[in-house]
Amino acid sequence: MEYKFIIANFQYDKHIGLIQLNRPKELNALNLELMLEIKDAIKRMDDDENIRVIIITGNRKAFAAGADIKQMAGKSAIDMLKIDQFTTWDQIRKTKKPLIASVSGFALGGGHELVMLCDMVIASDTAKFGQPEIKIGVMPGAGGTQRLPRAVGKVRAMEMVLTGDFIDAKTAESWGLVNKVVPEELCLSEALKMARKIAEMSPIAVQLAKESVLKAFDQPLQEALYFERKNFYILFSTEDQKEGMKAFVEKRKANFTGD
Ligand code: DAK
């Protein structure tokens, strides 16, 4: 698939892929084509044995200012149902490898919902997060009313969803939406630093650990704990577990191969 609205780099760094949303004049507004391209690139990177971590970013002014309002404006309910554009997001949720968002500028509506689908978030001090759908007569439709309260609690989620007000990067950090805030020029390199650290770990352990953490949002505690335990046991069938524990005993750095 040729990409028109994103730039996908499958060898951005050793074991790291980078997807850059690239519709700058429209502040990376998520039209249908752009969303399909993101889904396609993430899936291809997830299937690529060489890639262990995926970074998603935008540009200085915007990560993404939401779904493309101009494309949606004339649609009927049935049109929207038929297009069902945000099933794309469901696919992204199934990504096995860690997704890190590097966010500068606006991350709004569907753009913020994409950030919340990522596993970790590095924000630049210029970043602004919001669910402003209420201001255009609708409401969040791709996870904003569900993932946001789980991340920040009810009253803060209500404020963002019902007033449409944006929050700045520091507030997002203190509310637990963001791992770290850095100066804008360091935003991508900081995400890369985090990605490199994870890419050095056993990729199978990383995959099962991610899967287990996400279970905390989907399942009751006891079932999620069983799930976690089984994943833990499975890892004892990997070469990486043998290598990791041997390296500890021998007081050296482990060399994980993914076997
Ligand atoms: N859609 C289309 N175009 C957009 C856009 C958007 N979301 N955001 C910005 N643009 C365009 C502007 O129209 C403008 O284009 P021109 O007028 O130059 O042609 C260009 O990008 C630059 O924007 P501004 O001139 O407005 O720039 P400012 O710096 O003055 O303002 C802003 C930046 C981000 C505050 C402002 O652009 C803004 O308020 N944008 C809209 C933000 C917004 O409301 N986002 C939420 C969109 S609704 C669904 C589930 C979920 C959703 C949809 C469907 N289903 C389950 C099917 C999600 C919905 C949304 O995300």
Tokens standing for residue 177 = 């939406």
Chain segment 29-78, per-residue pLDDT in tens:
999 999 999 999 999 999 999 999 999 999 999 999 999 999 999 999 99
For a ligand 1 pocket test, name from 69, 79, 160 the mutation site with the most ligand atoms within 8 angstroms of its C-beta. Answer: 69
Q: Quote the pLDDT of residue 209.
A: 98
Contact 18, 55 (CB under 8 A): yes
Q: What is the mean pLDDT of residues 225-240?
A: 97
Neighbour count for residue 65 (Cβ, 10 Å)? 26
Cα distance between residue 203 and residue 143, in whole Å: 28
Q: Check whether 121 has a pLDDT greater than 90.
A: yes
Using a 6 Å cutoff on CB, does residue 31 contact ligand 1?
Answer: no
Tokens standing for residue 83 = 């297009």
Banded pLDDT at 85 (limits 50, 70, 90): confident
- Sign of the CA dihedral running 217, 58, 191, 156: negative
Ligand 1 midpoint to CA 107 (Å): 10
Tokens standing for residue 125 = 């001090």
Banded pLDDT at 83 (limits 50, 70, 90): confident
Specify the ligand 1 atom closest to the Cα of 62: 34
Q: What is the mean pLDDT of residues 197-216?
A: 97
Q: Quote the pLDDT of residue 198.
A: 98
List of domains in the chain:
6-199 (3.90.226.10), 203-249 (1.10.12.10)
* Residues whose CB falls within 8 Å of the CB of residue 163, separated by 6 or more in sequence, listed in order: 134
Chain segment 122-160, per-residue pLDDT in tens:
999 999 999 999 999 999 999 999 999 999 999 999 999
Q: Check whether 86 has a pLDDT greater than 80.
A: no
- Residue whose Cα lies nearest atom 4 of ligand 1: it is 26
